[in-house]
Chains A and B, each alone.
Chain A
C-alpha cells in the first residue's frame, strides 16, 4: 500500500493517460476526440514533472544555503511540449471548423455515411 501512496502522482498520470486515450478511441464527436487528445498529452506533462522531482530538493532557483535542487530540465522540455500541444489543438480545431463547413456535422458516423453515399 505504501508503494501505491508514495507514487500517487504516477497513478494520476496513468489514470489521465487512459481516460484521454479511451476518449480519443471511443468518441465519435470530433471535438470530444480533441479533448481526449489534450487530456492524454497533459498526462505526459505530469509524468515529466514527476520525473524531475528530487526527494527533498528545492525549486531550481539558486538560493543561498540550498544545496539540493529539483531537476529543471524536464520542466523545460515540457514547456516545449505544451507549445506543441497548443499548436496541435489549434490546427485540429481549425480542421473541425472546415469539416463542419464541408459536411454540416462533426459526428464521425454522419461524415462516414455522407462519404459512402457519394
Chain B
C-alpha cells in the first residue's frame, strides 16, 4: 500500500499536515508534529530512491486517469535523489529549528511558521515528483509563496523588503515559465513530460518551440538565481530567519536546477542543447557567477551574506557542468547538487549557532568566538574546506569531476575559472576563520558558551556527511552516473 503510493504520500502528507500545524496551540506541539512529518517524508524518500534503484522509474497515475490525459507522477533516479535531498535536509533542519526559531521568531507566529515551512516542503517535493509540466508551475508557486512568507519573518525590517524583492522576481520567473509552457503546449497539445519528449523532436525547427524553450529557461534561471538573475538571493538569505536560510539554501535552488536538467534532457531532445547556443550561455553565466560572486563574497562584512554570495558562485559551478553538455559535465552537476546541499547546510547551521549565542553575525561581532565555541568553529572549518574543495571532503569530489569534464573538451577557460573560484573561496572562508580564531575576543562576548547540543548535532551530522562522501564516492557518483544514463546525455 505504502510502496505503491510513495510519490503521492510524499506530497500529501506535508500538505495535509500544514494547516493542522498552523492551527495548533502555541508551545512545542507544532514543532513536534512538523518534526514527525519531515522524518516520515525523509524515510519515504529514502524508500523511494531504494525502490527505483532496484526496479526502475515509478509512474503513478493520479485518480487512475491514464497519462497523458490524467496527471502523472513520474520519478526516476534523478528526482528521487533530489526528493531525498529536500526531505533529508528538512528532517535535519527540524531538530535545529526548535531553539533557533524560538529565539528568532515571535512566539505567536511559531505555529504559522511551521505551517508555512510544511507548505514550502510540499511545493518542493511536489516539483520533484510530478511528471506534468503545468503541475511544476503550480508546485513552484506553492513553494515560492510560502518561502516569501518565511523570509519576511526575519527580525530586521530588511527581511520585509527582501521578501518583497524576491516576490517580484520569483513571480516574474514563474510567469515566464508559464508563458513557456503555453507556447510549447500550443505546438504539442500536451503537458505530460514523457509525452512532450515524444512529440518535440520533430518540432524543434519551429520558432514557437524555441521561444517557449527560452521562456522556460529564463523562468527557472530566475528561481535558480543563475547569474545575472541572482540579485534577490543575497538579501533573502541574509535577512531570513536562520532556519529558513538553511532550508532554502540547501533545497530550493537544487530543485530549480533539477527542473532545468529535466527540461533540457528529458522534455527536449538531447541534441537540442548543442544545436542551440544554450550550452555556451550556461558556460558563460556559470563562469561569470563563479568569478564575480566569489569576488563579492570576499568583501562582505555579514557572514550570512558572504555565504549567500558563495551560494551564487556554487550555482555557477553547477551551471558550468550543464553548459558543458556532456555526460561527464552533467554527472559533475548532479554530484555538486548533492554535495553543495551538505556543505551549505552545515555552514549556515554553524553560523546560525553563533547567531543563537550572540544574536548577530557581522565579522566584527564574532571576533575570537572560535575559541569559545570549538565545536561550532570546527564545523565551519571542515565545511569551509569542503566548500573550497580540499581533497578528502565532498567538495573535492564534485570539483574533480567538473574539471575532468572541462578538460575532456579542452575548455581551459572553464578550468581556470574553477581554479580561481576555489582560490577566492580560500580567501573568503579564510576571512571567517581569521575573525573567529585569530582576533581577540570582544569583552561583551567573554561569557559566550558553546552552542547547545540540539544545534550542534544536526550541524555535525552534515559535517560528517561532508567527510564521508568525500572519501566514499560510490553512492554519489554511482547515483549521478545512473541518473545521467536515464537522462540519456551523450558523452563527448
Contact = CB atoms under 8 A, between A and B. Distances in A.
B149 interface: yes
A24 B171 CA distance: 11
Interface string B196-237: 000000000000000000000000000000000000000000
A30 B164 contact: yes
Interface in B120-167: 134, 137-138, 141, 145, 148-149, 152, 157-158, 160-161, 163-164, 167
B186 interface: yes
Given A51-B182, A91-B145, A98-B160, A37 B171 contact: yes
Contact of A88 (B161, B171, B182): B171
Interface in B174-207: 174-175, 178-179, 182, 185-186
Interface string A75-100: 00100110010011001100110110
Interface in A93-113: 95-96, 98-99, 102-103, 111
Contact of A44 (B134, B149, B178, B185): B178
Contacts of B161: 99, 103, 111, 115
Given A41-B175, A84-B141, A115-B158, A47 B167 contact: no
B203 to A, nearest CB: 15
Contacts of B164: 30, 92, 95-96, 99
Given A37-B172, A102-B157, A51 B145 contact: no
A98 B134 CA distance: 32
Given A74-B182, A95-B152, A111-B161, A33 B145 contact: no
Given A88-B141, A115-B158, A98 B152 contact: yes
A80 B185 contact: no
Contacts of A41: 171, 175
Contacts of A92: 164, 167-168
Q: How large is the interface on A (under 10, 10 to 19, 20 to 34, 35 or more residues)?
A: 20 to 34
Contact of A91 (B149, B157, B174, B175): B149
Interface residues of B, number: 25
A33 to B, nearest CB: 6
Interface string B426-446: 000000000000000000000
Contacts of B185: 51, 74
A95 B165 CA distance: 10
B182 A48 contact: yes
Contacts of A37: 168, 171-172
Contact of A102 (B160, B171, B175): B160
Given A51-B185, A77-B134, A99 B160 contact: yes
Contacts of A81: 137, 178
Contacts of A33: 168
A102 B164 CA distance: 13
Nearest to B181: A77
A69 B186 CA distance: 16
A24 B182 CA distance: 22
Interface of B: 134, 137-138, 141, 145, 148-149, 152, 157-158, 160-161, 163-164, 167-168, 171-172, 174-175, 178-179, 182, 185-186
22 contacts: A21-B172, A24-B168, A37-B168, A37-B172, A44-B178, A44-B182, A48-B182, A74-B182, A74-B185, A81-B137, A84-B174, A87-B145, A88-B141, A88-B171, A91-B145, A91-B148, A91-B149, A95-B148, A95-B160, A95-B164, A99-B160, A99-B164
